[in-house]
């Protein structure tokens, strides 16, 4: 039996949520990064990316971040090549989502995903990876389907 002191009231639950909102970004900001390169017809562009390899990491992604360095991003790896859906729930910054095939080639790009939107963003075909960058960078580096993403976890290397 739960005592009255052990039951979360609406107010206590709200306080826990607020604490988590501050802890998640701090933990994510301390995540280890690694170098990724994108090769387009305009050149090769380096980025420092955080990895989202587990379902827990993928479900948090870049939520609650208020900013991201221009040369930063997050690389999501899925357990297998599959149709992928993403959304921007609790994501505060606009993003370009790059859907990447198992061999490291770009399948398609969703430009300028709207912050806080719960609209579903789907890959045009089954993919293994998704790279999230600040909105506008895909256009700036002239990224197009067929371009290559190079990173140690991508099988195409």
- Domain 31-150, CATH homologous superfamily name and number: Protein of unknown function DUF192 (2.60.120.1140)
**Contact indicator for 98, 106 with CB cutoff of 8 Å:** yes
Q: Domain segments of the chain: what residues?
A: 31-150
- DSSP codes joined into one string, 19-80: HHHHHHHHHHHT--EEEEEEEETTEEEEEEEEEE-SHHHHHHTTTT-S---TTEEEEEEEEE
Q: What is the mean pLDDT of residues 33-53?
A: 97
Q: Which pLDDT band holds residue 11 (cuts at 50, 70, 90)? A: low
Q: From the centroid of its chain, how far is CA 142?
A: 20
d(CA 116, CA 62): 11
**Model pLDDT for residues 58-112, shown as the tens digit of each residue:** 999 999 999 999 999 999 999 999 999 999 999 999 999 999 999 999 999 999 9
Decide if pLDDT at 23 tops 90: no
Give the pLDDT confidence score for residue 19 in this predicted structure: 42
- What pTM, to 2 d.p., does this model score? 0.80
Q: What average pLDDT is seen over the chain?
A: 86
Decide if pLDDT at 13 tops 80: no
Decide if pLDDT at 56 tops 80: yes
């Amino acid at each position: 039996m739960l005592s009255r002191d052990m039951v979360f009231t609406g107010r206590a639950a709200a306080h826990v949520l607020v604490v988590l909102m501050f802890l998640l970004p701090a933990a994510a900001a301390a995540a280890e990064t690694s170098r990724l390169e994108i090769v387009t017809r305009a050149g090769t562009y380096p980025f420092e990316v955080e990895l989202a390899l587990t379902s827990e990491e993928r479900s948090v992604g870049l939520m609650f971040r208020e900013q991201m360095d221009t040369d930063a991003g997050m690389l999501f790896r899925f357990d297998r090549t599959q149709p992928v859906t993403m959304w921007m729930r609790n994501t505060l910054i606009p993003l370009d989502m790059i859907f990447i095939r198992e061999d490291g080639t770009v399948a398609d790009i969703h430009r300028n995903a709207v912050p806080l939107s719960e609209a579903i963003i789907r890959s045009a075909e089954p993919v293994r990876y998704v790279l999230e960058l600040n909105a506008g960078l895909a256009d700036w580096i002239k990224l197009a389907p067929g371009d290559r993403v190079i990173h140690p976890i991508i099988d195409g290397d």
